[in-house]
Amino acid sequence: MDAWLVNDSENTAIPVTDRGLAYGDGLFETIALREGRCRFVTDHLARLEVGCERLAIPFPGAERIERNIRRLCKQNGARDGVVKIVVTRGAGPRGYAYDPTAVTPMLCVGLAASEPPIVPPDGIRVRLCTTTVSRNPQLAGMKTLNRLPQVLGRAEWQNPEIAEGLMSDEHGNLIGGTMSNVFIVAGPELVTPPTTAAGIAGIMRAKVMQAAEQCGIDLRERDIDVRTLEHVDECFVTNSLIGIWPVSRLGNTRYDIGPVTRRLMDALAAQGVSECRR
């Protein structure tokens, strides 16, 4: 990140006693800045507010966060890049307990200027991670600061030709990529894993699901046994910064960039996800 605002001040330091450091007691958002605008910012802030409610962290407020973003963009002159928002339960004494009547959350907003990522025209190569994703219904769906499984999953490979690693839970259910949600096309169905026990309820995932509905594509949220992946017709991953990345190779299995993936990329491009333009 090129610049940060910590609790509305230009600062790159946080207290060592912050519960975000101590316990990962907080949430984050990563938003695409495209042509001077934060894409789907309302959706991101709505998800952050729901997460704060679930963790009983006072939500810092959408207006305040958007003011921070505008200030960083203005100072920086950035038109394209990444905005990161971190909200924690703030500083506190040692121990898991906190006084629910006296929580002062910490808000960090960061900006990094960067060119929008390019969708590889022939699709991406992915691998299966051996690190498993933790299941926990009380945390599932949220983008919490507890992300060690993703860190360990991403550390499994260094080969730059591999763009993403797919992760399963301990039962062998596909959950998502280290940094993305995953969809498969199997016969007539578009399928994505539910986010009720593990995984993140991605904003781009929700946009793809809406687009599928509008296109009349039969969508199911259901468990996907990771061992069935070599038999699926199409596979793609999504996140807020990349849009849709078609998967063309998983280990020795190759996939075509199929008609469902193409239709959804066109639908997202029409909604302003410029990375999906073909």
Residue-wise DSSP of 25-81: -EEEEEEEEETTEETTHHHHHHHHHHHHHHHTPPP--HHHHHHHHHHHHHHHT-SSE
Decide if residue 6 touches a second copy (CB under 8 A).
yes
Give the footprint of a second copy on residues 43-72 (CB under 8 A). 55-56
46 or 151: CB nearest a second copy: 151
Q: How many residues bind a second copy (CB under 8 A)?
A: 62
For tokens 């507890």, what's the residue? 146
Tell me how far apart the alpha carbons of residues 215 and 261 are, in angstroms, rounded to a whole number.
12
Tell me how far apart the alpha carbons of residues 169 and 133 are, in angstroms, rounded to a whole number.
5
Return the ∠ at Cα 177 (arms to 173 and 180), rounded to 5°. Answer: 125
CB of 115 to a second copy, least distance (A): 15
Contact with a second copy (CB under 8 A): which of 63, 77, 97, 231? 97
Among the listed ranges 4-12, 118-126, 181-189, 245-253, the one in contact with a second copy (CB under 8 A) is: 4-12
Decide if residue 163 touches a second copy (CB under 8 A).
no
Contact with a second copy (CB under 8 A): which of 74, 77, 118, 137? 137
Contact with a second copy (CB under 8 A): which of 76, 131, 271, 274? 131
**Are 262 and 268 within 8 A, CB to CB?**
no
Return the SS3 of 129: coil
Buried (b) or exposed (e) across 146-174, using 16+ Cβ within 10 A? Answer: bbebbeebbeeeeeeeebbbbbbbeeebb
Decide if residue 272 touches a second copy (CB under 8 A).
no
Return the SS3 of 258: coil
Decide if residue 37 touches a second copy (CB under 8 A).
no
CB of 267 to a second copy, least distance (A): 27
**Are 85 and 64 within 8 A, CB to CB?**
no
Contact with a second copy (CB under 8 A): which of 153, 176, 199, 246? 153
Contact with a second copy (CB under 8 A): which of 9, 138, 159, 252? 138
Decide if residue 19 touches a second copy (CB under 8 A).
yes
Decide if residue 94 touches a second copy (CB under 8 A).
yes
Contact with a second copy (CB under 8 A): which of 37, 67, 125, 154? 154
**Are 139 and 149 within 8 A, CB to CB?**
no
Q: Footprint of a second copy on this chain (CB under 8 A)?
A: 1, 4, 6, 11-25, 28, 30, 55-56, 82, 84, 86, 88-89, 94-98, 100, 108, 110, 112, 131-139, 144-155, 158, 170, 178-179, 197
